[in-house]
Structure 1
Amino acid sequence: MEQLIQHLKSYYPLSDEASKALSNCLEKKCFAKNDYLIKAGRICRYFYFMERGALRGFYNLNGKEITHWFGFENTFITSFHSYITEQPSVENIQFMEGSIMWAISKKDLTGLFDRYHELERLVRIIYENYYIRLEERYVNAQFKTAAELYSDLMEKSPHILERVPLGYVSSYLGMTQETLSRIRKLH
Protein backbone atom coordinates (compact mmCIF):
# COMPACT_ATOMS: atom_id res chain seq x y z
CA MET A 1 0.00 0.00 0.00
CA GLU A 2 2.94 2.32 0.65
CA GLN A 3 3.83 2.11 -3.06
CA LEU A 4 0.35 3.36 -3.92
CA ILE A 5 0.42 6.26 -1.46
CA GLN A 6 3.83 7.39 -2.70
CA HIS A 7 2.64 7.12 -6.31
CA LEU A 8 -0.43 9.23 -5.51
CA LYS A 9 1.73 11.89 -3.88
CA SER A 10 3.68 12.19 -7.14
CA TYR A 11 0.45 13.51 -8.71
CA TYR A 12 -0.66 15.78 -5.89
CA PRO A 13 0.45 16.30 -2.27
CA LEU A 14 -1.69 14.53 0.31
CA SER A 15 -1.88 15.23 4.00
CA ASP A 16 -1.15 12.40 6.42
CA GLU A 17 -4.80 12.50 7.48
CA ALA A 18 -6.09 12.09 3.90
CA SER A 19 -3.52 9.36 3.18
CA LYS A 20 -4.61 7.44 6.28
CA ALA A 21 -8.31 7.80 5.49
CA LEU A 22 -7.68 6.58 1.94
CA SER A 23 -5.57 3.66 3.18
CA ASN A 24 -8.41 2.59 5.48
CA CYS A 25 -10.75 2.31 2.48
CA LEU A 26 -8.41 0.33 0.22
CA GLU A 27 -8.72 -3.41 -0.22
CA LYS A 28 -5.93 -5.59 -1.62
CA LYS A 29 -7.06 -8.00 -4.34
CA CYS A 30 -5.02 -10.69 -6.08
CA PHE A 31 -5.88 -12.05 -9.51
CA ALA A 32 -4.56 -14.94 -11.60
CA LYS A 33 -3.66 -14.83 -15.27
CA ASN A 34 -6.84 -14.87 -17.42
CA ASP A 35 -9.11 -13.74 -14.55
CA TYR A 36 -11.48 -10.89 -15.38
CA LEU A 37 -11.61 -7.64 -13.46
CA ILE A 38 -14.89 -6.81 -15.21
CA LYS A 39 -16.95 -8.43 -17.94
CA ALA A 40 -19.14 -6.64 -20.44
CA GLY A 41 -22.66 -6.22 -19.08
CA ARG A 42 -21.60 -5.76 -15.45
CA ILE A 43 -21.33 -2.46 -13.60
CA CYS A 44 -17.85 -1.47 -12.46
CA ARG A 45 -18.16 -0.09 -8.93
CA TYR A 46 -14.45 0.13 -8.05
CA PHE A 47 -11.45 2.26 -8.90
CA TYR A 48 -8.20 0.28 -8.86
CA PHE A 49 -4.48 0.80 -8.66
CA MET A 50 -2.26 -1.91 -10.11
CA GLU A 51 0.70 -2.66 -7.88
CA ARG A 52 1.93 -5.59 -9.95
CA GLY A 53 0.82 -7.29 -13.14
CA ALA A 54 -0.63 -6.67 -16.56
CA LEU A 55 -4.10 -6.58 -18.06
CA ARG A 56 -5.93 -5.53 -21.17
CA GLY A 57 -9.22 -3.86 -21.99
CA PHE A 58 -11.09 -5.28 -24.97
CA TYR A 59 -14.43 -5.31 -26.75
CA ASN A 60 -16.13 -8.19 -28.48
CA LEU A 61 -17.21 -7.26 -32.00
CA ASN A 62 -18.84 -9.91 -34.19
CA GLY A 63 -17.08 -12.69 -32.30
CA LYS A 64 -13.70 -10.97 -32.48
CA GLU A 65 -11.81 -9.47 -29.54
CA ILE A 66 -10.62 -5.90 -30.14
CA THR A 67 -7.96 -4.86 -27.61
CA HIS A 68 -7.98 -1.12 -27.00
CA TRP A 69 -5.71 -0.60 -23.98
CA PHE A 70 -3.24 -2.21 -21.63
CA GLY A 71 -2.57 -1.61 -17.95
CA PHE A 72 0.64 -2.29 -16.05
CA GLU A 73 2.26 -1.51 -12.70
CA ASN A 74 1.55 1.90 -11.16
CA THR A 75 -1.53 2.40 -13.33
CA PHE A 76 -5.05 3.38 -12.32
CA ILE A 77 -7.61 0.97 -13.70
CA THR A 78 -11.35 0.98 -14.07
CA SER A 79 -13.96 0.67 -16.77
CA PHE A 80 -14.30 4.46 -16.79
CA HIS A 81 -17.63 4.77 -18.58
CA SER A 82 -19.28 2.16 -16.37
CA TYR A 83 -17.66 3.47 -13.19
CA ILE A 84 -18.69 7.08 -13.81
CA THR A 85 -22.19 6.47 -15.21
CA GLU A 86 -22.98 3.37 -13.12
CA GLN A 87 -24.18 1.69 -16.33
CA PRO A 88 -23.16 -1.79 -17.51
CA SER A 89 -19.70 -1.98 -19.01
CA VAL A 90 -19.32 -2.54 -22.74
CA GLU A 91 -15.72 -3.65 -22.31
CA ASN A 92 -13.98 -6.60 -20.72
CA ILE A 93 -10.88 -6.18 -18.59
CA GLN A 94 -8.78 -9.35 -18.36
CA PHE A 95 -5.49 -10.10 -16.62
CA MET A 96 -2.56 -11.20 -18.76
CA GLU A 97 -0.41 -11.95 -15.70
CA GLY A 98 -0.98 -12.70 -12.06
CA SER A 99 -1.66 -9.28 -10.54
CA ILE A 100 -2.01 -7.37 -7.29
CA MET A 101 -4.56 -4.57 -7.22
CA TRP A 102 -5.76 -2.07 -4.61
CA ALA A 103 -9.48 -1.35 -4.85
CA ILE A 104 -11.71 1.39 -3.50
CA SER A 105 -15.46 1.50 -4.03
CA LYS A 106 -17.04 4.47 -5.72
CA LYS A 107 -19.14 5.04 -2.60
CA ASP A 108 -16.06 5.18 -0.35
CA LEU A 109 -14.10 7.37 -2.75
CA THR A 110 -17.00 9.82 -3.09
CA GLY A 111 -17.26 10.00 0.69
CA LEU A 112 -13.54 10.80 0.90
CA PHE A 113 -13.98 13.58 -1.67
CA ASP A 114 -16.46 15.28 0.64
CA ARG A 115 -14.03 15.16 3.56
CA TYR A 116 -10.68 15.66 1.79
CA HIS A 117 -10.75 18.03 -1.16
CA GLU A 118 -7.13 17.18 -1.93
CA LEU A 119 -8.29 13.66 -2.86
CA GLU A 120 -10.87 15.12 -5.20
CA ARG A 121 -8.15 17.22 -6.87
CA LEU A 122 -5.89 14.18 -7.07
CA VAL A 123 -8.50 12.06 -8.83
CA ARG A 124 -9.31 14.95 -11.18
CA ILE A 125 -5.63 15.02 -12.21
CA ILE A 126 -5.71 11.24 -12.75
CA TYR A 127 -8.82 11.63 -14.94
CA GLU A 128 -7.15 14.44 -16.90
CA ASN A 129 -4.11 12.26 -17.57
CA TYR A 130 -6.39 9.44 -18.72
CA TYR A 131 -8.21 11.79 -21.10
CA ILE A 132 -4.95 13.07 -22.58
CA ARG A 133 -3.75 9.50 -23.27
CA LEU A 134 -7.14 8.66 -24.79
CA GLU A 135 -7.05 11.67 -27.10
CA GLU A 136 -3.45 10.96 -28.16
CA ARG A 137 -4.41 7.39 -29.01
CA TYR A 138 -7.42 8.54 -31.03
CA VAL A 139 -5.42 11.12 -32.98
CA ASN A 140 -2.63 8.64 -33.66
CA ALA A 141 -5.10 6.03 -34.92
CA GLN A 142 -6.62 8.57 -37.31
CA PHE A 143 -3.47 10.08 -38.78
CA LYS A 144 -0.58 7.63 -38.53
CA THR A 145 0.32 4.70 -40.74
CA ALA A 146 0.63 1.18 -39.36
CA ALA A 147 4.43 1.48 -39.49
CA GLU A 148 4.33 4.80 -37.61
CA LEU A 149 2.04 3.32 -34.94
CA TYR A 150 4.46 0.43 -34.43
CA SER A 151 7.47 2.77 -34.29
CA ASP A 152 5.71 4.91 -31.69
CA LEU A 153 4.94 1.81 -29.63
CA MET A 154 8.57 0.68 -29.78
CA GLU A 155 9.78 4.13 -28.76
CA LYS A 156 7.25 5.03 -26.06
CA SER A 157 6.12 1.65 -24.69
CA PRO A 158 8.61 -1.11 -25.55
CA HIS A 159 7.53 -3.04 -22.43
CA ILE A 160 4.25 -3.83 -24.22
CA LEU A 161 6.14 -5.78 -26.88
CA GLU A 162 7.98 -7.70 -24.15
CA ARG A 163 4.94 -8.60 -22.04
CA VAL A 164 1.94 -8.80 -24.36
CA PRO A 165 1.12 -11.53 -26.92
CA LEU A 166 1.51 -10.23 -30.47
CA GLY A 167 -2.13 -11.00 -31.30
CA TYR A 168 -3.20 -8.47 -28.65
CA VAL A 169 -0.59 -5.97 -29.85
CA SER A 170 -1.80 -6.18 -33.46
CA SER A 171 -5.39 -5.69 -32.33
CA TYR A 172 -4.35 -2.72 -30.18
CA LEU A 173 -2.58 -1.16 -33.17
CA GLY A 174 -5.58 -1.81 -35.42
CA MET A 175 -3.85 -4.18 -37.83
CA THR A 176 -3.72 -7.86 -38.62
CA GLN A 177 -1.02 -10.08 -37.17
CA GLU A 178 0.34 -10.54 -40.69
CA THR A 179 0.74 -6.78 -41.15
CA LEU A 180 2.42 -6.50 -37.75
CA SER A 181 4.82 -9.32 -38.69
CA ARG A 182 5.76 -7.56 -41.95
CA ILE A 183 6.36 -4.25 -40.15
CA ARG A 184 8.45 -5.95 -37.44
CA LYS A 185 10.69 -7.54 -40.08
CA LEU A 186 11.44 -4.06 -41.47
CA HIS A 187 12.49 -2.70 -38.08
Structure 2
Amino acid sequence: MTFPEFLSTYITIDDDIRSFLNTQTEKISVKKGTVISDQNTLNRKVYFVEKGLLRSFYFEKGKDITTNFYPENSILANKDTIFEKIPPRHSIEATEDSEIVFFRYSKMEELCETSLILFNS
Protein backbone atom coordinates (compact mmCIF):
# COMPACT_ATOMS: atom_id res chain seq x y z
CA MET A 1 0.00 0.00 0.00
CA THR A 2 1.29 3.48 -0.80
CA PHE A 3 1.36 6.24 1.79
CA PRO A 4 -1.52 8.18 0.16
CA GLU A 5 -3.62 4.99 0.04
CA PHE A 6 -2.85 4.35 3.70
CA LEU A 7 -3.82 7.90 4.69
CA SER A 8 -7.05 7.76 2.70
CA THR A 9 -8.27 4.93 4.94
CA TYR A 10 -8.26 7.41 7.85
CA ILE A 11 -8.85 10.87 6.34
CA THR A 12 -10.14 12.52 3.19
CA ILE A 13 -7.25 13.62 0.99
CA ASP A 14 -8.04 17.26 0.15
CA ASP A 15 -5.97 19.67 -1.97
CA ASP A 16 -3.82 20.79 1.00
CA ILE A 17 -2.93 17.22 1.91
CA ARG A 18 -2.37 16.23 -1.73
CA SER A 19 0.01 19.19 -2.10
CA PHE A 20 1.83 18.15 1.10
CA LEU A 21 2.21 14.59 -0.20
CA ASN A 22 3.58 15.85 -3.52
CA THR A 23 6.01 18.43 -2.13
CA GLN A 24 6.97 17.44 1.42
CA THR A 25 7.34 13.67 1.31
CA GLU A 26 10.29 11.75 -0.07
CA LYS A 27 10.53 8.08 -0.96
CA ILE A 28 13.80 6.21 -0.47
CA SER A 29 14.99 2.68 -1.04
CA VAL A 30 17.31 1.29 1.62
CA LYS A 31 19.26 -1.92 1.81
CA LYS A 32 19.09 -4.38 4.67
CA GLY A 33 21.27 -3.14 7.54
CA THR A 34 20.93 0.56 6.69
CA VAL A 35 20.45 2.74 9.77
CA ILE A 36 18.03 5.53 8.84
CA SER A 37 18.04 7.21 12.24
CA ASP A 38 20.93 7.05 14.72
CA GLN A 39 20.63 6.86 18.48
CA ASN A 40 21.53 10.20 20.10
CA THR A 41 21.19 12.14 16.79
CA LEU A 42 18.27 14.56 16.48
CA ASN A 43 15.89 13.38 13.77
CA ARG A 44 12.40 14.88 13.49
CA LYS A 45 11.33 12.76 10.51
CA VAL A 46 8.27 10.55 10.37
CA TYR A 47 8.61 7.32 8.39
CA PHE A 48 6.06 5.11 6.62
CA VAL A 49 7.09 1.60 5.56
CA GLU A 50 5.67 0.91 2.09
CA LYS A 51 7.72 -2.24 1.61
CA GLY A 52 10.11 -4.12 3.87
CA LEU A 53 10.71 -4.20 7.60
CA LEU A 54 12.32 -1.77 10.05
CA ARG A 55 13.28 -2.17 13.68
CA SER A 56 14.04 0.20 16.53
CA PHE A 57 16.90 -0.67 18.86
CA TYR A 58 19.43 0.72 21.29
CA PHE A 59 22.76 -0.31 22.74
CA GLU A 60 23.17 -0.99 26.43
CA LYS A 61 26.27 -2.44 28.06
CA GLY A 62 27.59 -3.48 24.65
CA LYS A 63 24.39 -5.30 23.68
CA ASP A 64 22.06 -4.51 20.79
CA ILE A 65 18.49 -4.45 22.23
CA THR A 66 15.57 -4.54 19.76
CA THR A 67 12.50 -2.72 21.06
CA ASN A 68 10.07 -3.01 18.15
CA PHE A 69 9.57 -4.14 14.55
CA TYR A 70 7.71 -2.10 11.93
CA PRO A 71 6.29 -4.09 9.02
CA GLU A 72 4.72 -2.71 5.85
CA ASN A 73 2.04 -0.04 6.41
CA SER A 74 3.59 1.10 9.70
CA ILE A 75 4.30 4.68 10.73
CA LEU A 76 7.20 5.37 13.08
CA ALA A 77 9.33 8.20 14.40
CA ASN A 78 11.70 8.95 17.26
CA LYS A 79 9.19 10.33 19.76
CA ASP A 80 11.93 11.67 22.05
CA THR A 81 13.10 14.03 19.35
CA ILE A 82 9.69 14.97 17.95
CA PHE A 83 7.90 15.74 21.19
CA GLU A 84 10.69 16.54 23.65
CA LYS A 85 13.32 17.78 21.18
CA ILE A 86 16.00 15.63 22.79
CA PRO A 87 18.27 13.09 21.08
CA PRO A 88 16.52 9.72 20.76
CA ARG A 89 17.49 6.68 22.75
CA HIS A 90 16.69 4.40 19.81
CA SER A 91 18.10 3.90 16.34
CA ILE A 92 15.99 2.76 13.37
CA GLU A 93 17.38 0.17 10.96
CA ALA A 94 16.11 -1.69 7.89
CA THR A 95 16.10 -5.43 8.65
CA GLU A 96 15.44 -6.17 4.97
CA ASP A 97 15.55 -4.16 1.75
CA SER A 98 12.83 -1.54 2.21
CA GLU A 99 10.89 1.28 0.51
CA ILE A 100 10.24 4.12 2.95
CA VAL A 101 8.34 7.39 2.63
CA PHE A 102 9.30 10.13 5.07
CA PHE A 103 8.57 13.76 5.87
CA ARG A 104 9.68 16.28 8.43
CA TYR A 105 7.41 16.57 11.45
CA SER A 106 7.68 20.39 11.38
CA LYS A 107 6.12 20.40 7.89
CA MET A 108 3.21 18.30 9.14
CA GLU A 109 2.72 20.78 12.00
CA GLU A 110 2.49 23.57 9.40
CA LEU A 111 -0.07 21.54 7.44
CA CYS A 112 -2.14 21.00 10.59
CA GLU A 113 -2.37 24.77 11.02
CA THR A 114 -4.07 25.16 7.63
CA SER A 115 -5.84 21.87 6.95
CA LEU A 116 -9.30 21.66 8.46
CA ILE A 117 -9.36 17.90 7.80
CA LEU A 118 -6.21 17.25 9.84
CA PHE A 119 -7.17 19.77 12.48
CA ASN A 120 -10.51 18.06 13.02
CA SER A 121 -9.19 14.47 12.84
Residue 121 and residue 26 in structure 1: after superposition, are their counterparts in 2 closer, same or farther (change >3 A)?
A: farther
Match of 2:61 in 1: 62
Match of 1:34 in 2: 33
Alpha-carbon deviation of 1:113?
0.8
Q: Distance in 2 between matches of 1:117 and 1:56?
A: 33
Match of 2:12 in 1: 13
The structure richer in strand per residue is 2
Give, as a single letter, the amino acid of the residue that structure 1 aligns with 2:18: K
Q: Distance in 2 between matches of 1:6 and 1:61?
A: 38
Q: Distance in 2 between matches of 1:95 and 1:86?
A: 24
Give, as a single letter, the amino acid of the residue that structure 1 aligns with 2:30: F
RCO higher in 1 or 2 (8 Å CA, sep ≥ 6)? 2
The structure richer in helix per residue is 1
Give, as a single letter, the amino acid of the residue that structure 1 aligns with 2:106: K
Matched, 1:107 2:106: yes
Q: Distance in 1 between matches of 2:87 and 2:19?
A: 29
Match of 1:83 in 2: 82
Q: Distance in 1 between matches of 2:119 and 2:95?
A: 31
Match of 2:24 in 1: 25
Alpha-carbon deviation of 1:120?
4.2
> What secondary structure is seen at the aligned counterpart in 2 of 1:59?
strand
For structure 1, the 5+ residue unaligned runs are 123-187
CA contact (8 A) 1:55 1:72 kept: yes
Residue 64 and residue 44 in structure 1: after superposition, are their counterparts in 2 closer, same or farther (change >3 A)?
A: same
Residue 53 and residue 87 in structure 1: after superposition, are their counterparts in 2 closer, same or farther (change >3 A)?
A: same
> What secondary structure is seen at the aligned counterpart in 1 of 2:39?
coil
RMSD between aligned alpha carbons?
1.6
Alpha-carbon deviation of 1:119?
2.5
CA contact (8 A) 2:17 2:111 kept: no
Give, as a single letter, the amino acid of the residue that structure 1 aligns with 2:6: H
Q: How many residues align?
A: 120
- Equivalences for 1:108-127 in 2 at 5 Å? 108-122=107-121
Alpha-carbon deviation of 1:91?
0.7
Bigger Rg over Cα: 1
- The structure 1 segments of at least 4 consecutive aligned residues displaced by more than 3 Å after TM superposition are none
Alpha-carbon deviation of 1:121?
4.9
